[in-house]
Amino acid sequence: MPTVLLVRHGHSSANGDGVLAGRMPGIHLTERGREQAARLAERFRELPVARVVSSPLERCLETAAPLAAAVGLEVTVDDELQECAYGAWTGRALKDLAGEDLWRTVQDDPETARFPDHERYAAESLREMSDRVVAAVRRHDEEVSAAAGDSAVWVAVTHGDLLKATLADATGSGLAKFQRFTADPASVSVVRYGSRHTFLLAANDTAPELARFQPPPQAPASGDAAVGGGAG
């Protein structure tokens, strides 16, 4: 069972402006975001990473590039990891969206939330978003397992809501509770899928040391949980 390190892109111009960027083109990392990406790359430098996958949007690619260079890999781009299709909400100020009825649905009943259609920007529901990112992450995990073994480590660079949905799925809380999770810019969350259980090793982690997430050589491959909590 490989270990996936789920990375949110660094601080972007949309984060600084307080707008919902969605799939708008031309949203790049800020100076702060570039510094975050550089620090992130240093965190990964000693880690034997088998694959780096990224959303195709600029802010994710700009985060993934120095990370991939640090571990000697090319970035694999996967459209299924791109931002939620927010439709007519795309590009609008978050402070204005907070006053709409749909905002309350997104907060309190995300399983029924669907973003309004738009002539330029695609729209989808949070359920559609969740289903596609979870399927993509699990697909890459299976491919990494087949190619590099169950002790492999790989990286997915994506967006906040997609990370939250992946964590909600991994913990079994489901989309209904996905707003309980947090994914700050340049944070790392760590999940290990097993045949019996899925293990959440970290969420919204910004600490410098990542080597602790590499499975020890004697780690069981069965996917069973360690009774008593394990020795670490």
**H or E element at residue 75:** strand 75-77
Residues ≥6 apart with Cβ < 8 Å to 145: 1, 2, 152
Q: What is the pLDDT of residue 193?
A: 94
Q: Is 88 a domain residue?
A: yes
Q: What is the pLDDT of residue 194?
A: 87
Q: Is 190 a domain residue?
A: yes
Q: Is 197 a domain residue?
A: yes
Neighbour tally for 222: CB within 10 Å: 12
Parallel, antiparallel or unpaired: strands 153-158 and 49-54: parallel
Cα 54 to the chain's mean position, in Å? 9
Which three-class secondary structure state does DSSP give residue 82? coil
pTM over 0.85: yes
Q: Is 219 a domain residue?
A: no
Q: How many domains does the chain have?
A: 1
Q: Is 133 a domain residue?
A: yes
Q: How far apart are CA 218 and CA 1, in angstroms?
A: 13
Q: What is the pLDDT of residue 57?
A: 98
Cα 225 to the chain's mean position, in Å? 24
Q: What is the pLDDT of residue 164?
A: 95
Which three-class secondary structure state does DSSP give residue 143? helix
The sign of the torsion formed by the CA atoms of 131, 136, 138, 142 equals: positive
Q: How far apart are CA 231 and CA 13, in angstroms?
A: 43
Q: How far apart are CA 52 and CA 131, in angstroms?
A: 21
Q: How far apart are CA 226 and CA 208, in angstroms?
A: 26
Range of the domain at 125: 3-213
Q: What is the pLDDT of residue 226?
A: 46
Could you read off the pLDDT tens digit of each residue along the chain, which spans 232 residues? 899 999 999 999 999 999 999 999 999 999 999 999 999 999 999 899 999 999 999 999 999 999 999 999 999 999 999 999 999 999 999 999 999 999 999 999 999 999 999 999 999 999 999 999 999 999 999 999 999 999 999 999 999 999 999 999 999 999 999 999 989 999 999 999 988 899 999 999 986 666 766 766 655 555 544 444 444 4
Q: What is the pLDDT of residue 195?
A: 84
Q: Is 35 a domain residue?
A: yes
Residue 80 is part of a domain; what is its CATH number? 3.40.50.1240
Q: What is the pLDDT of residue 179?
A: 93
Q: What is the pLDDT of residue 232?
A: 46
Q: Is 218 a domain residue?
A: no
Q: Is 49 a domain residue?
A: yes
Query: In 52-73, which positions are buried (b, 16+ CB within 10 angstroms) versus exposed (e)?
Result: bbbbebbbbbbbbbbbbebbeb
